Amino acid sequence: MPSPDQLEAFVAAAEQGSFSAAARRLGKVQSAVSNAISNLEIETNLELFDRSSRNPVLTEAGEAMLRLARNALQSQQDFLDRATALSNEVETKLCLALEQSVACQPLLPLLREFEQRFPHIELELLDPGSSDVAALISSNRADIGLMMAEEQYPLDFNFHGMGHSRLLPVCHKAHPLVTRQPVSHAELRSHRQLLCRSLNRDFTSHERFCISADIWLSESPYIAMELLCAGIGWAFLHQTVVQEKIDSGELVALQLDSQKPVILNPVDLVWAKDRNLGTAGQWLLQQMLKLDLYQPH
């Protein structure tokens, strides 16, 4: 089995163009590098360098093995980095739950920095429906969550306001409500309404937005949007979900005569009080707490 020293010498010589330059880079004498490469050639039964000229030149076999040698050295470094992370109490996995109506774009710069700081962390991103983030945090399925604010949280929850999301009344461009703007409460009641609700029947936060006597329920705001695009009903949906369809003209944001056309829904960062986050989780949580992500325009 080739040793790390042999592989390092081989890669250094290939990259530096000579055994002497490789020795200088590795801080070794030239004979040590030459012997390491010779022993590697013996073990692999391959001639890795053509030594007929002044400077060694990779053979065809050497070219083929160079990539594998680099990969082997990188795997060894990954192993050492992971061991160091574990010894420093850096967790190996972290789960972030983002409610489907919450825009993830404002988080992307932070997640890019997280990737650079903790390259060996396996980050899982979940996109649950309305109110289901809380259940994922309570069950320890997720470590940190972003969700539309609830009036009450479990006693073992921490939460922090992150701003607001715009909730718009929308329907298809050919829906009868479009020609009756500004739309009255009575007119809304006379047409089918699509409501987004949690999978958990105990969560009833969706009921505060219920106006119509005829409703369809969906766990996903994106399913509701597709139903709207098919001409079925009207709904209160978050701007992050429907803006593209509004821009294309397929959906229309309704003007209401009884209230402002825009409802602001608070967005909360949530995590369990008794959840012991590791170094990476604490870093991500603290960085998110510094942000004011969701500001309506």
pLDDT score for 74: 78
CA distances 24 to 18, 21, 27, 209, Å, are: 10, 5, 5, 71
- Cβ contacts of 198-202, under 8 Å, gap ≥ 24: 198/129, 198/130, 198/131, 198/132, 198/135, 199/129, 199/132, 200/131, 200/132, 200/135
Superfamily (CATH H level) for 93-162+266-289: Periplasmic binding protein-like II (3.40.190.10)
Q: Which residues of 203-233 are buried (b: 16+ CB within 10 A; e: fewer)?
A: bebbeebebbeebeebbbbbebbebbbeebb
Residue count (the chain): 297
- Predicted TM-score (pTM) of the model is 0.63
Residue 278: pLDDT band with limits 50, 70, 90 = confident
Q: Which of 142-146, 231-235, 263-267 has the lowest mean pLDDT?
A: 263-267
CA distance 240 to 29: 62
Q: What are the residue ranges of helices labelled H in the chain?
A: 4-16, 19-26, 30-44, 60-87, 108-117, 132-138, 185-189, 221-229, 239-248, 279-289
Q: Which residue type is seen at 2?
A: P
Residue 198 has pLDDT above 70, yes or no: yes
Between strands 263-272 and 144-148, the pairing is antiparallel
pLDDT in tens, 27-80: 999 888 889 888 888 888 989 898 888 888 889 898 888 888 888 887 776 666
Average pLDDT of the chain?
A: 86
At CB < 8 A and 24+ separation, what contacts does 155-158 make? 156/272, 156/273, 156/274, 157/270, 157/271, 157/272, 157/273, 158/270, 158/271, 158/272, 158/273
- Of residues 86 and 220, the one with the higher pLDDT is 220
Strands 93-98 and 122-126: parallel
* Ranges for all domains in the chain classified under CATH 3.40.190.290: 164-265
What single DSSP character describes residue 1? Answer: -
pLDDT at 151 over 60: yes
Q: Where in the chain is the domain with CATH 1.10.10.10?
A: 4-87
294 band by pLDDT with thresholds 50, 70 and 90: low
| CA gyration radius, the chain | 29
Residue 89, sorted as left (phi over 0), alpha (psi -120 to 50) or beta, turns out to be: left
- As a CATH number, domain 164-265 is 3.40.190.290
Please state, for a pLDDT cut of 70, what percent of the chain lies above it. 91
Cα 33 from Cα 88, distance rounded (Å): 34
Least confident among 18-22, 250-254, 256-260 = 256-260
Query: Residue 207: which residues within 8 A CB-CB, separation 6 or more?
Result: none
Cα separation, 2 vs 39, in Å, equals: 9
User: 53-67, 100-114, 261-275 — which is least confidently predicted?
Assistant: 261-275
- Into which CATH architecture does domain 4-87 fall? Orthogonal Bundle (1.10)
Domain with CATH 3.40.190.10 in the chain: 93-162+266-289
Residue 270 near residue 162, CB atoms below 8 Å: no
For CA atoms 69, 72, 74, 77, the dihedral sign is: negative
Give whichever of 50-54, 184-188, 227-231 has the largest mean pLDDT.
227-231
Q: Which helix (H) or strand (E) holds 184?
A: none
Please identify which residue in the block is written with the tokens 């020795």: 23
